[in-house]
A = this chain, B = another copy of it.
């Protein structure tokens, strides 16, 4: 517990700044969030994955590192939410005792920079023992308690995702490369948290030219198989160059 603080040099963890990631996944029905279990025998709430940053490390890089350490994934969609710095964010007893265990300076004031990321759930299946700390996909709407101020961060992540989907079509990061319009429709309903008319949604998406249909259909589904689509990166770039910034969902 002795505090040895030396002059800040590279390769050192910075005791005052951390990053936390809200990792969203979509199971074709609802949004899920990847949370880590800090279980130490006693019952403690789950937390968002995160850690202190290194002094020589860019903030974004720290978030990428946390994400890769946890899931092994690279090149995933990442966006900063903002900084959270309530001096009382470490008020719960369970959080304090956890910090005593894992931090060199458990008493230090910490501000955290939150990120949200969008991953294809198929790309990361948590395995019971894949890491020292275990992780799990939890349906967004079932999350009622988290460590520290992570509920607040989660709320901000939801808000920002909802807002951003109107500005850039980032939702495709949550779907596999090939998807159906029905899946895209469900995704938008999950993110915007409201029902949307099927016909109007399809018309709108197709008019925007953001998807291109493949010469391929779903297989093995117990109903009429759907056309498969892909995100059309080219048309998206063209659309952005026109200064488009409002999808009006």
Q: Could you list which residues of chain A lie within 8 angstroms of chain B, going by C-beta atoms?
A: 3, 5, 7-8, 14-17, 53, 55-59, 80-87, 105, 107-109, 111, 113, 163, 166-167, 245-246, 248
Contacts and interface: CB of A to CB of B under 8 A. Distances in A.
Contacts of A58: 85-87
A89 to B, nearest CB: 10
List the 10 shortest-distance A-B pairs measured between CB atoms, nearest first: A59-B85, A83-B83, A16-B16, A83-B113, A55-B109, A5-B5, A8-B108, A82-B82, A80-B82, A8-B109
A93 B240 CA distance: 38
Which of A55, A111, A166 has the most CB atoms of chain B within a 10 A radius of its CB? A111
Nearest to A249: B246
A151 B17 CA distance: 23
A219 to B, nearest CB: 39
21 contacts: A5-B5, A8-B16, A8-B107, A8-B109, A15-B16, A16-B17, A17-B17, A17-B85, A53-B111, A55-B87, A57-B87, A58-B86, A80-B82, A81-B82, A82-B82, A82-B113, A83-B113, A85-B113, A111-B113, A246-B246, A246-B248
Contacts of A163: 167, 245
A57 to B, nearest CB: 7
Interface centre among A80, A84, A85, A108 (most CB of B within 10 A): A85
A82 B85 contact: no
A49 B105 CA distance: 30
Contacts of A87: 55-58
Of A14, A55, A83, most B-chain CB atoms within 10 Å: A83
A152 to B, nearest CB: 13
Contacts of A107: 7-8
A67 B101 CA distance: 39
A129 to B, nearest CB: 34
A87 B108 CA distance: 21
A157 B245 CA distance: 17
Contacts of A7: 3, 107
Nearest to A80: B82
Contact of A16 (B14, B113, B167, B245): B14
A246 B166 contact: yes
